[in-house]
Amino acid sequence: MRMRPLTLACLALAVPSAFADTADSVLGEVSVTAKGYAADELDTPAATLSLSRDQLQRRGAHNVGEALRGEPGLAVFGDSAQGQNPVIRGLKKESVVLLVDGIRLNSAQPAGAIASFMSLPLAERVEVVKGPASVLYGSGALGGAINVRLPQARFEPGVGLDTAVSYDSASRGVRATGVMNAANQDHALMLGASLARIDDYRAPSSVR
């Protein structure tokens, strides 16, 4: 069959459009904490902050308070060597809800859960909602909400182990974490554990 020039031109125009349809698209940061379901941060009306695992590792943070230090609208209130609790827009822990994988952390203390007990080396992501979030998370979320998301087991055949140990001379603190992932093509298991032993701050002194 002999094609006319007009037919050949139409085919030439159709080829680039086909490649355009299959091109990879880059998605923005996705937040779950602000709306209760996965949504692009640009489509979220609330002021949010998301820190990935790589960002947390670069900051060398051991707890939530250390990770959020210096971010706009956030501060840290320290009541001990280990007690570094986040402050959102001037409101402390009694007005901030802490969650792990969307499950609220409760505390017997009226001041709320202690953020420093959450080990960040085990976290995959930290999401923060700045401002009232009581509609989603109930009372105590006047200042905002912080959600620590843990990693999911990976279906990569084999056994892997990640460990980390650190020492802080100022507080004579020792921290250790370990994450093991074991999987085959049908099943996957991930186990994580952390240990922290913190003492009081030790100030330099010339008296011996």
The model's pLDDT over 184-195, given as tens digits with 9 standing for 90+, comes to 988 999 998 888
pLDDT at 10: 40
The model's pLDDT over 96-110, given as tens digits with 9 standing for 90+, comes to 888 888 888 877 666
Q: Where are the beta strands (DSSP E) in 41-169?
A: 47-52, 74-78, 84-88, 96-100, 103-104, 125-130, 144-149, 158-168
DSSP-assigned states of every residue in 52-84:
EHHHHHHHT-SSHHHHHTTSTTEEEEESSSS-E
pLDDT above 70 as % of the chain: 68
The model's pLDDT over 133-146, given as tens digits with 9 standing for 90+, comes to 777 887 788 888 89
Q: What is the mean pLDDT of the chain?
A: 75
pLDDT at 159: 92
Mean pLDDT on 189-204: 79
User: For residue 41, what pLDDT band results from cuts at 50, 70 and 90?
Assistant: low
The model's pLDDT over 141-169, given as tens digits with 9 standing for 90+, comes to 888 889 999 888 888 899 998 888 888 88
Structural domains for the chain: 30-149 (2.170.130.10), 158-197 (no CATH)
pLDDT at residue 68 above 80? yes
- If one compares 52 and 30, the residue with the highest pLDDT of the two is 52
- If one compares 41 and 62, the residue with the highest pLDDT of the two is 62
C-alpha span between 157 and 149 (Å, rounded): 24
C-alpha span between 129 and 41 (Å, rounded): 11
User: For residue 6, what pLDDT band results from cuts at 50, 70 and 90?
Assistant: very low
C-alpha span between 50 and 46 (Å, rounded): 13
Question: Model pTM?
Answer: 0.68
C-alpha span between 174 and 188 (Å, rounded): 30
Contact 119, 105 (CB under 8 A): no
